[in-house]
Structure 1
Amino acid sequence: MEREEELLLKNLGWKGKGLIRSACDAETNSSSHQDSSDDELSKDRKKEGSLRFYKPKFSYIFCDMDGTLLNSKSQITPTTAEALREALSRGVKIVIATGKARPAVIDILKMVDLAGKDGIVSEVSPGVFLQGLLVYGRQGRQIFKSNLDPNISREACLYSLENKVPLIAFSEGRCLTLFDHPLVHSLHTVYHEPKAEIMPSTEHLLAAADIQKMLFLDTAERVASTLRPYWSEATKSRATVVQAVPDMLEIVPLGTSKGNGVKMLLDHLGVTAKEIMAIGDGENDIEMLELASLGIALSNGQEKTKAVADVIGISNDEDGVADAIYRYAF
């Protein structure tokens, strides 16, 4: 049919394309354009081992731990560890911003050889810990510390004893509790927090050290249905409740947050928000993601966190941090 059209047009002196050829070419061009678009999409993600050929877009990457850098088994995978090493080798500084205590973060990163002077975290590196209640600047010097109201701490201890809900009091590098419980053990064995010291009474616990935050451990259902409603009301205008993971509820000093901790550290370092990329998943990461030039929420994150993010990345069980580094940081 196309051949017949060509002969007819030739006899008529027509030098352009016929309708059939034009239609075929249009389809071919459309297909070619789609293939090209697919190629461009795949090229957005740099290949592992190739970052030495690219210029960093950001000076700093601020990264959460639980649900972000750590997968659902509370591990940093080899793929993610390698991406972090590549970024470091290109001069990008990676700063941890987490609800965890600093000793816990150091222990976790030691497992993948990323702790110490030339790694991501050490006793002499900057970082934001305990939901922004402890902030360390240059040479690991403490630049901010905020303690929980002792009256709130006392009320939390009494609630824990009366309702048999496990409670952990965080005091810099120490964890204190009032009774033994499997969930208390899991905070150490699974989440790598310092092993909890069992105090003989509320008075002993409160006298042992300054407390930055209290953390209740329960099922996700009980946290949502009982603990959060109760403590949101009980601490109104005196403290703030926040969640990093569904089965834990944290009580922190009023007016503090991980986001505020990140702001303080940036001011201390003389770094602008335009220079940073941030990656997180929980509601406690919202301010940090909003602050950053590029805020990335992993797909396993909470809906309210994903709603404020510039980009939604793949999940922590798919090496979401590694993918974000290879796709957006260079």
Structure 2
Amino acid sequence: MKYKLLVLDVDGTLVNNEREISKRTLATLLKVQQMGVRIVLASGRPTYGLMPLAKALELGNYGGFIISYNGCQIINANNGEILFERRINPEMLPYLEKKAHKNSFDIFTYHDDTIITDSPENEYIRNEAQLNNLDIIVEDEFSIAIDFAPCKCVLVGDDEQALISLEEHWKKRLDGALDAFRSEPYFLEVVPSGVNKANTLGVLLEHLGVTREEIIAIGDGVCDVTMLQLAGMGIAMGHSQDSVKVCADYVTASNEEDGVAQAVEKLILAEVRAAEIPLEQLNERAKYALMGNLGIQYTYASEDRVEATMPVDQRTRQPFGILHGGATLALAETVAGLGSMLICQPDEIIVGMQVSGNHISSAHEGDTVRAVGTIVHKGRSSHIWNVDVFTSTNKLVSSVRVVNSVLKKG
């Protein structure tokens, strides 16, 4: 496939204005992962605040990653391992606190599942804590209380012009030590020098052995521009300001109109349907899901026929040593599910509706069974698959009928 990595900004991009992933976007992103494309969430949010989204997208099952704090950390979504990290020298905190107070700004930072601040009643700080499900810890002596190196600090104020002035001053004063930028009209963020989404994404690409031509990046804000320019295909959301759109290769719909789903359907899923199916990647991505837990491996796939194998072992046998009927049905549904995904349109999703099997003979522990799925009905609203399961000696074990419903996204 042309693209191997899909990099998504979160607020204003992945989620709608209610801070939720729409059903259409969720279904599209699960499907694209099943087809072998990894997803990276790249956000200014803290790592803790991104974990629920990563879980909803099942990034851990499909080899996904999180780039948090606007590039300060890379997290492996499967095991939580920190692959990359940059932090602020704690010696800089008294200076940042002094500047905040001198300009009548509030200040906060993140630590694990908390926000630490000397201004707990600030509306913007409280909203940030609520958005990321963080507890607020109050420390009147902010810089003295911080006994760790934070990933970033944020100054907060209603005087946007004053924030702009301090941002411009710090670009000269802190050059080479820290970077400062406004992520919102009321937020001035301070991060280690050279940290941004693009630079950290470059680290991840090197780690994975992926080229920039093999990635799609989607975002809506000024903080996303360098990331969009790095990607082989940079996509701006429809509601982005013009300065972001002119830096992108393509402009999709807004986050209220499933812009991410529309872009992915057009630029990835439409291509995958016509391309060779990446079976090795599918097997690798599914190793932590039910399919992987049962040892199921795809061996062949086309729009009319899908084959897979499954071992008869301690995971799939009954107590007395023969293949479990429930595992056989799971194998059949796995085969038919992939087949329907290959033939459905980009704006459609597949939902399993019915499975019924006739178990004809036994397969014994130590054998490996083979499932062969062929489509017998390809309708606009449903697909019907016949899946025959054979032993290694080609003896028919079960014949299973699977019905999948075809639904429009929305």
Residue 128 of structure 2 is aligned to residue 183 of structure 1: no
245 and 162 in structure 1: CA distance in 2 versus 1, 3 angstrom threshold: closer
Query: 1:273: Cα distance to partner?
Result: 1.4
* Percent of paired sites with the same residue: 26
User: Aligned partners of 2:98, 2:223: CA distance in 1, in Å?
Assistant: 26
Higher helix share: 1
Residue in 1 aligned with 2:60?
117
Say whether the 8 Å CA contact 1:59–1:91 is kept in structure 2.
Answer: yes
User: Aligned partners of 1:162, 1:220: CA distance in 2, in Å?
Assistant: 13
Residue in 2 aligned with 1:51?
none
236 and 116 in structure 1: CA distance in 2 versus 1, 3 angstrom threshold: closer
Say whether the 8 Å CA contact 1:243–1:283 is kept in structure 2.
Answer: no
Residue in 1 aligned with 2:84?
144
Residue 102 of structure 1 aligns with an amino acid whose one-letter code is T
Q: 2:155 aligns with which of 216, 227, 240?
A: 216
User: Aligned partners of 1:276, 1:312: CA distance in 2, in Å?
Assistant: 16
156 and 324 in structure 1: CA distance in 2 versus 1, 3 angstrom threshold: same
Residue 71 of structure 2 is aligned to residue 128 of structure 1: no
Query: 1:326: Cα distance to partner?
Result: 1.1
268 and 223 in structure 1: CA distance in 2 versus 1, 3 angstrom threshold: farther
197 and 293 in structure 1: CA distance in 2 versus 1, 3 angstrom threshold: same
Residue in 2 aligned with 1:260?
199
Q: 2:136 aligns with which of 196, 201, 212?
A: 196
Residue 45 of structure 2 is aligned to residue 100 of structure 1: yes
Pair member with larger Rg: 1
- RMSD of aligned alpha carbons: 2.5
Say whether the 8 Å CA contact 1:277–1:329 is kept in structure 2.
Answer: no
Residue 299 of structure 1 aligns with an amino acid whose one-letter code is G
323 and 243 in structure 1: CA distance in 2 versus 1, 3 angstrom threshold: farther
User: Aligned partners of 1:172, 1:145: CA distance in 2, in Å?
Assistant: 14
Residue in 2 aligned with 1:76?
21
Residue in 2 aligned with 1:58?
3
User: How many residues end up aligned between the 2 structures?
Assistant: 267
Residue 129 of structure 2 is aligned to residue 166 of structure 1: no
Residue in 2 aligned with 1:322?
261
- SS of the residue corresponding to residue 7 of structure 2 reads strand
Residue in 2 aligned with 1:32?
none
- SS of the residue corresponding to residue 243 of structure 1 reads strand
Residue 100 of structure 2 aligns with an amino acid whose one-letter code is S
303 and 132 in structure 1: CA distance in 2 versus 1, 3 angstrom threshold: same
Query: 1:174: Cα distance to partner?
Result: 4.0
- SS of the residue corresponding to residue 3 of structure 2 reads coil
User: Aligned partners of 1:61, 1:97: CA distance in 2, in Å?
Assistant: 10
294 and 257 in structure 1: CA distance in 2 versus 1, 3 angstrom threshold: same
Residue in 1 aligned with 2:252?
313
User: Aligned partners of 1:243, 1:320: CA distance in 2, in Å?
Assistant: 25
Residue 182 of structure 2 is aligned to residue 243 of structure 1: yes
- SS of the residue corresponding to residue 65 of structure 1 reads coil
- The superposition leaves residues 41-85 of structure 1 with CA deviations (integer Å, 9 ceiling, x where unpaired) of xxxxxxxxxxxxxxx541110111111112233222222212212
User: Aligned partners of 1:192, 1:273: CA distance in 2, in Å?
Assistant: 30
Say whether the 8 Å CA contact 2:115–2:137 is kept in structure 1.
Answer: yes
User: Aligned partners of 1:197, 1:135: CA distance in 2, in Å?
Assistant: 25
Query: 1:195: Cα distance to partner?
Result: 2.5
Residue in 2 aligned with 1:67?
12
Q: Scaled by the length of structure 1, what TM-score is found?
A: 0.72
Residue 188 of structure 1 aligns with an amino acid whose one-letter code is A
Residue in 2 aligned with 1:12?
none
Q: Between the two structures, name the one with larger relative contact order (CA 8 Å, sep ≥ 6).
A: 1
User: Aligned partners of 2:33, 2:127: CA distance in 1, in Å?
Assistant: 32
244 and 80 in structure 1: CA distance in 2 versus 1, 3 angstrom threshold: farther
User: Aligned partners of 1:144, 1:75: CA distance in 2, in Å?
Assistant: 28
Residue 28 of structure 2 is aligned to residue 87 of structure 1: no
User: Aligned partners of 1:203, 1:277: CA distance in 2, in Å?
Assistant: 40
Residue in 1 aligned with 2:373?
none
327 and 219 in structure 1: CA distance in 2 versus 1, 3 angstrom threshold: farther
- The superposition leaves residues 111-131 of structure 1 with CA deviations (integer Å, 9 ceiling, x where unpaired) of xx32563378xxxx5221111
User: Aligned partners of 1:326, 1:220: CA distance in 2, in Å?
Assistant: 42
254 and 193 in structure 1: CA distance in 2 versus 1, 3 angstrom threshold: farther
- The superposition leaves residues 270-322 of structure 1 with CA deviations (integer Å, 9 ceiling, x where unpaired) of 21112111101122212211111111011222433222111111111221111
Residue in 2 aligned with 1:296?
235
Structure 2: 5+ residue stretches without partners: 270-410
Residue 97 of structure 1 aligns with an amino acid whose one-letter code is A
